[in-house]
Amino acid sequence: MRILFIGDVFGRPGRDLVRLGLPVLAARHEADAVVANVENAASGAGITRETGEALLKCGIDVMTTGNHVWDRREALAYIGAEPRLLRPLNMSSAAPGRGAYVARLADGRPIGVLNVMGRVFMPPVDNPFDAAAAAADRLARECRVIVVDMHAEATAEKIAMGWHLDGRVAAVVGTHTHVQTADARVLPGGTAYVTDVGMTGPHDSIIGMERAEVLARFVTGLPSRMEPASANPRLQAVVIDADERTGLARAIERIDWSLDDISAARRTVDDERAF
Ligand SMILES: [Fe+2]
Ligand SMILES: [Fe+2]
C-alpha cells in the first residue's frame, strides 16, 4: 500500500497546490491513500467546514491537525460531524473529535491514521508516547497499516516517537514546523520516519506568514498583525510504501514540488493519455 502524506496545508496557496498537484502526484506515485495535515488550511489558522470539504474533494482520505485545530470556532462542531478530520488524540477528553481513524480504500482495505501532539514548546497535552502506543495497539486489531502524524516542535521529541513506535506502525511522520527535514528513512524495525514533512504553502514567507510583519515582531519586539503569504508556493509531502502483510514500510520518499513541477507533471500525464 502506498500512502501519500501531505505536509501542513497553509491557506489558499496550500489548498490550490493540493487541488492542482494532488491528482498528478497521487497518480505518479500510485498512491492508494492520501493523508494531509490541515491545521493551517483556513487562512493559515485552523480549518472550516468549507475548506475541509474542498480538500476532501481533491482526494484526501484523512485530515490531521495540531495546535491550530481550534483556531476557527466552527471546527468544534465540524470535527464532530466529520470523522475523517482528526485532532491530536492526547488532548483533553473534553475536546470534541477523535485522534484516530480507520479509513477504507475503494477496495475495502483498511488504513489506520493516528494524530498525536508533542509536549516540548507546545500547549499542554497528555503523554503522547503512552497515547500513541495504546492507540496503535487498539488500531492494530482493525488494520495492519498504521500511519502516525507526530505534531511537534522539538526534533528530539519527534525522533524519540519514531524509535518508540519502530516496528509497531508503518510510519511516524512529523508535522508543525513547516520546514521539511532531510532525514526520511526506514528505521531498523521497519517504520518509515521523517522529522518533518514540511509545508504545502507559500515558502517566500516566515513559516507561511508574510515576512514583513513577522520580521518586525522579531526585530522590534512589538506586536504586529500577521497576514498569510502567497509567494513561492510549494507542495511538500512524503510517499510511504508499506507492506500490507507485515504493516511495516519498505521505503519513504520526500516530495518538494513547485507550481512549475506540478505543471510539468500534469503535461506529462496529458501526453501519456494522448498516446
Ligand atoms: Fe502547521
Ligand atoms: Fe502546528
Work out the burial of residue 209: count CB atoms within 10 Å of its CB; fewer than 13 is exposed, 13-18 middle, 19 or more buried: buried
Confidence of residue 93 (pLDDT cuts 50, 70, 90): very high
**Ligand 2 centre and the CA of 223: distance in Å?**
20
Q: Which residues surround ligand 1, an ion (CB under 5 A)?
A: 8, 39-40
pLDDT of residue 219: 96
* Stretch 215-235: mean pLDDT: 95
Q: Return left, alpha or beta for 42; rule: phi > 0 is left, psi -120 to 50 is alpha, else beta.
A: beta
pLDDT of residue 274: 73
**Ligand 2 centre and the CA of 181: distance in Å?**
16
* Stretch 202-222: mean pLDDT: 96
Confidence of residue 48 (pLDDT cuts 50, 70, 90): very high
Please state, in angstroms and as integers, the Cα–Cα distance from residue 91 to each residue in 20, 81, 112, 200, following that order: 33, 18, 19, 25
**Ligand 2 centre and the CA of 244: distance in Å?**
30
Q: Kindly tell me if the per-residue pLDDT of 269 is higher than 90.
A: no
Cα dihedral across residues 206, 211, 213, 217: positive or negative? positive
**Ligand 1 centre and the CA of 146: distance in Å?**
22
**Ligand 2 centre and the CA of 117: distance in Å?**
9
Ligand (nearest to CA of 45)? 1
Ligand (nearest to CA of 197)? 1
pLDDT tens digits for 148-190?
999 999 999 999 999 999 999 999 999 999 999 999 999 999 9
- Residue ranges of the alpha helices (H) in the chain? 11-28, 49-57, 75-81, 128-140, 155-165, 211-220, 259-274
pTM for this prediction? 0.97
**Ligand 2 centre and the CA of 38: distance in Å?**
10
Choice among 68, 151, 176, 178 that is catalytic: 68
Q: Are 247 and 145 in contact (CB under 8 A)?
A: yes
Q: Is 68 a catalytic residue?
A: yes
**Ligand 1 centre and the CA of 65: distance in Å?**
8
Ligand (nearest to CA of 37)? 1
Ligand (nearest to CA of 208)? 1
